[in-house]
Amino acid sequence: MKLSIIIPVYNEEKTILKVISKVKNQKLDKIKKEIIIVDDFSKDGTGKILSGLKNKDIKIFFHEKNQGKGAAIRTGLRHATGDVILIQDADLEYDPKEYPKLLKPIMDGKAKVVYGTRMPYIISHLKDMYMPHVFGNRFLSYITNMIYFSNLTDMETGYKVFRREVIKNMRLRATRFDFEPEITAKIIKRRYKIHEVPIEFKARTFAQGKKITWRDGLKATYYLLKYRFMD
């Protein structure tokens, strides 16, 4: 089986090489990895770092202008050739050590879509969390479940894994953080069950480079409603 790992990147000069190293070094039995990195016109040294990489196993693409995370993921999807696709953020909030756990339900034939839920970890580490983000994530999962009759605990998770067939011919329009609600809505509408597995993660602060804000939460609510009634 071939796994395409898509890494959207924007201004992550401090972490990008560490993420690439962790992804490359993560051992997966009977799985060939394809690493696809899309730099969304970073303004720091990320682009220079990526331009200097000499590795035939990594595909690197550069946007000529900043378009957003969703657009970077869509670029990655266009170039992905794997049987299974995994989204990996470049900021080290999500650790590739979780890959075996995320892939097991798919490898065992029990699921075609897997989300890594952060909720059990968040609940046990509340003192370390930024509470507006916690409440926002819980609210968006609640709205998702109410509108789409699902049972998700973490719709906004960055770890989304799915078989290629799940998104075949799926028209994705997302450019920014609206990717999460859009793909979730369209997966559910295609009648795929989303299997969740608990993961650990390291929450970043705004000072450390966290980019998502309350405005993105409002937009996510809008897109959840929008894609309930349109493709």
Q: Look at residues 176, 125, 118 and name the one whose alpha carbon lies nearest to residue 152.
A: 118
Question: Cα separation of 75 and 70, whole Å?
Answer: 9
In order of their start, the domains of the chain are 2-229 (3.90.550.10)
Q: Tell me the pLDDT tens digit for each residue of 128-171.
A: 766 777 888 899 999 999 999 999 999 999 999 999 999 999 99
pTM of the predicted protein model: 0.91
How far separated are the first and last CA of the chain, in Å rounded? Answer: 30
Dig out the tokens for 80 from the structure.
């992905």
pLDDT for the residue 132: 76
Q: Look at residues 81, 78, 77, 84 and name the one whose alpha carbon lies nearest to residue 30.
A: 84
Q: Tell me the pLDDT tens digit for each residue of 46-56.
A: 999 999 998 87
Between 192 and 129, the higher pLDDT residue: 192
Q: What percentage of the chain has pLDDT greater than the value 70?
A: 94
Dig out the tokens for 208 from the structure.
């450390």
pLDDT for the residue 204: 56
Q: C-alpha distances in angstroms, 117 versus 20, 66, 114, 146?
A: 22, 29, 9, 18
Judged by average pLDDT, the poorest of 3-12, 29-38, 194-203, 209-218 is: 209-218
